[in-house]
Structure 1
Amino acid sequence: MSEDPQSSEIYALLDDKYARAILTATDTTAKSAKELSDECDASLPTIYRRTERLIDCGLLEEQTKFEEEGHHHSVYKARLRRLTIELENNELKIDIEERPAEKMADRFTNIWGEL
């Protein structure tokens, strides 16, 4: 059985309790690394490593949240809507359905509203 590197990384991430916790925690609400650290009971370095891997695989996205007085920080939101693994012709195939990307106009409106 041969599998592409992307599939191998996704399997490894799904085997990791922190990666699963991050995906679950960011399903409906974007959260900061600090919020994820508290919610997932993980150190900030662990959260940053897992979010980077999840972003690289397209399962998580990083957004910028603006605060008062011009401050801003990153928040993370799950991109994964559905993940399917099939066994077909002696091969495991992975299919990822991502949430539709937020339209640029909607992002601008949200950012403007936060200012």
Structure 2
Amino acid sequence: MSEDTPSGEVYALLDDEYARRILTSTNTTTKSAKELSEECDASLPTVYRRVERLIDCGLLEERTKLEDNGHHHSVYKARLKRLTVELENDELKLTIEEQTDESMADRFTAIWDEL
């Protein structure tokens, strides 16, 4: 989660059914906006709005997928591994643990191998 992101914004986003579906759908594999639209039974504009908000909050990342024909498109992957809400000193404290399944070097190698 970005340090600048207010906890209330994350709470509101996670209250949204489409945002939750996008996160759960991209937990183990990357998905395109079209795939997310079909899986979430949502319009593409709805998916893109939620994706943008999830990225802004640091819960989702955008990656570029290269096709065999040289074209590319965006795919999305959840960054959220664990979300914890604690009550400390009469205040709710939100802690987000990000997934660390792939390093930048691993991603670069995967992209290079696809070329």
- Matched to 2:41, the amino acid is D
Please state whether the residue corresponding to 2:69 is helix, strand or coil.
helix
Larger relative helix fraction:
1
Q: Count residues in correspondence.
A: 112
Q: How does 1:25-104 map to 2 (within 5 A)?
A: 25-100=25-100, 102-104=102-104
Gaps of 5+ in 1: none
For the Cα contact (< 8 Å) 2:10–2:57, is it kept in 1?
yes
* Alpha-carbon offset, residue 73 of structure 1: 0.2
- Matched to 1:10, the amino acid is V
* Alpha-carbon offset, residue 102 of structure 1: 3.1
Task: State how far apart, in whole Å, the 2-side matches of 1:95 and 1:76 are.
Answer: 22
TM-score (norm 2): 0.92
2:17 corresponding residue in structure 1:
17
Relative to structure 1, the CA distance from residue 107 to residue 36 in structure 2 (aligned partners, 3 Å threshold; closer, same or farther) is same
Task: State how far apart, in whole Å, the 2-side matches of 1:36 and 1:104 are.
Answer: 24
Q: RMSD between aligned alpha carbons?
A: 1.4
TM-score (norm 1): 0.92
* Alpha-carbon offset, residue 23 of structure 1: 0.2
* Alpha-carbon offset, residue 101 of structure 1: 6.7
